[in-house]
Amino acid sequence: MKKKLEVQAIENGSVIDHIAAGQGVKILKFFQLTDTKQKITIGLNLPTGGSQTKDLIKIENTQITDAQANQLALFAPDATINLIENYDVVKKFKVHLPESISGVLACPNSNCISHSEPVDSQFYIRQKQQIKLKCHYCEKSFATSFFKELD
Amino acid sequence: MTNPLYQKDIISIADLSRSELELIVATAKKLKHQPQPELLKNKIVASCFFEASTRTRLSFETAVQRLGGSVIGFDSGGNTSLAQKGETLSDSVKVISSYADGFFMRHPQEGAARLAAEFASIPVINGGDGSNQHPTQTLLDLFTIYETQQQLEGLNIAFVGDLKYGRTVHSLAQALSLFNCNFFFIAPSALAMPDYILEELDDAGIKYSLHSSIEEVIADLDILYMTRVQKERFDETEYQHLKSAFVLNGSMLENVRDNLKILHPLPRIDEITTDVDITPYAYYFQQAENGVYARQALLALVLTNFFQEQA
Ligand SMILES: Nc1ncnc2c1ncn2[C@@H]1O[C@H](COP(=O)(O)OP(=O)(O)OP(=O)(O)O)[C@@H](O)[C@H]1O
Ligand SMILES: [Mg+2]
Ligand SMILES: [Zn+2]
């Protein structure tokens, strides 16, 4: 028996599942997932079965690549990407933290030179207890919660 | 064969390996004892101070001229078209690259030197980028420690004062951690060494301990590195109380190792009383002089292959 989907089914596309509740909207903004004409449906604070909740994003007719998926790991380390073809999950994979990320996030240090010059931002990613991003330019390290999207 | 720093940028201490640090220190020593007044003959070095810094600039410009090079440049951001006409740093750097053989720069924003190096076609030496890096200060400190102790390995080094905001102590501790030194950090708790530095030291397996007065450790030290506790960060009574624990005076030097040397990046305000100056342990003015040799060493290595050919 097919389970009832929490969010409307799509014929082809990608489902980003198991996003920690509260991070879904951030992810849409940071990665400019809404820069598309394709239909996007989002579910926020969906029940997971246990006592927890999750966010979920579905994008029609778009295949999320490994590289894109790994960037999502910064804000949703437990996310799963499901590629949907003909209403079925044809591929499912977990995200992995990338070593670096460029051109997506603005440096939280307002005095960083990257803001006023024609360069892409760039961060090196380390994970110990916490994920930290170190700016290629100002060399300061930040937890993901310090970031705002690029203007 | 070229030396490993030839035509390289010097942006951050963390970019330099232990053997590169040793090469710079050894080269500074050679230049101190055997001046090379023709080494940069016919070379032009640009001195670009987008933010004023009298000491660093004078030391760099002296270093160029002592090696026979000539200096072009400017000494504060306010006079440049960058500040007045809104030119980007990247454009300024491209232009400067077409005039000079290399340049050193000071800039008020973090990351400026790294960015400049990406746009420059000539080597860039960072003379301070905002609150980030000031590698030539670290190199002159390393040279001075080497000069006074004949080695960098396994020394007992105390850092005193503002260890929270002092980029000088952060990068010196990072550099010295490549040489297995033991660190003693002496600071008021409000100005303690930041956790991320302590974590790095833990990762590198470096031994360190935290203390609340100089007297606790002074008898065991090879190097006592003093910095200023900024008065502005405390209210007056708190400051008076702190001061006593973090001020060095001559009477505290009765029971110390013969090889102890006291360093300070200067300017000193009142954290070292002047009676210390005449003791054999005071070395901060020689340290400032060594800034010229350390900067000469960098210029010589980055702009010429002289020492490689000599070897
Ligand atoms: N045709 C579809 N259209 C839209 N969403 C779909 C479609 N098929 C599956 N999904 C969604 O994709 C995700 C993964 O589906 P799957 O059937 O693998 O569920 P699961 O067994 O719960 O997987 P997981 O163990 O990853 O949670 C679920 O959130 C599901 O709602
Ligand atoms: Mg599920
Ligand atoms: Zn930055």
Question: Got the DSSP string for B99-115?
Answer: T-SEEEEEESSBTHHHH
pLDDT at position B77, please? 64
**Which of the following is catalytic: B33, B54, B85, B237?**
B85
The finding on whether A41 has its CB within 6 A of some atom of ligand 1 is: no
Q: Are B157 and B221 in contact (CB under 8 A)?
A: yes
The finding on whether A5 has its CB within 6 A of some atom of ligand 1 is: yes
For B114-156, the pLDDT digits (tens) are: 999 999 999 999 999 999 999 999 999 999 999 999 999 999 9
pLDDT at position A68, please? 87
Distance CA B258, CA B256 (A): 6
pLDDT at position B123, please? 98
pTM given for the model = 0.90
Distance CA A134, CA A63 (A): 29
* CB contact B120 to A (< 8 Å): no
For A46-65, the pLDDT digits (tens) are: 998 888 899 999 999 999 98
Q: Are B192 and B212 in contact (CB under 8 A)?
A: no
Q: How many Å lie between the centroid of ligand 2 and the Cα of residue B120?
A: 52
Element (H, E) at A94: strand A88-94
Residue B158: is it exposed, middle or buried by C-beta count within 10 angstroms (0-12/13-18/19+)?
buried
Q: How far is CA A35 from CA A122, B184, B265, in A?
A: 21, 54, 52
pLDDT at position A150, please? 63
More confident of the two residues B104 and B236: B104
For A63-90, the pLDDT digits (tens) are: 998 888 999 999 999 999 999 999 999 9
Catalytic residue at B2?
no
In this structure, the strands spanning B102-107 and B44-49 are parallel
* pLDDT above 60 for A1: no
Distance CA B49, CA B24 (A): 23
Nearest-5° Cα angle at B118, B114 to B123? 80
Q: For chain A, what's the residue count? A: 151
Distance CA B205, CA B199 (A): 10
The ligand minimizing its distance to the Cα of A39 is 1
Q: Name the closest-CA residue to atom 17, ligand 1.
A: A89
Q: How far is CA B165 from CA A137, A146, B162, B265, in A?
A: 19, 20, 6, 14
Nearest-5° Cα angle at A106, A105 to A110? 160
* CB contact B77 to A (< 8 Å): no
**Mean predicted confidence (pLDDT) in B85-105:** 93
The finding on whether A89 has its CB within 6 A of some atom of ligand 1 is: yes
Closest residue to B109, CB basis, from A112, A136, A139: A112
B47-56, B121-130, B294-303: range with lowest mean pLDDT: B47-56
* CB contact B107 to A (< 8 Å): yes
**Mean predicted confidence (pLDDT) in B105-120:** 97
For B164-183, the pLDDT digits (tens) are: 988 899 999 999 999 999 99
pLDDT band for position A32 (cuts 50, 70, 90): confident
Residue B254: is it exposed, middle or buried by C-beta count within 10 angstroms (0-12/13-18/19+)?
exposed
Q: What is the DSSP letter of A112?
A: B
For A111-150, the pLDDT digits (tens) are: 999 999 999 999 999 988 889 999 999 999 999 989 987 6
**Mean predicted confidence (pLDDT) in B201-225:** 95
Choice from A1, A4, A5 to test ligand 1 binding pocket (greatest atom count within 8 A of CB): A5
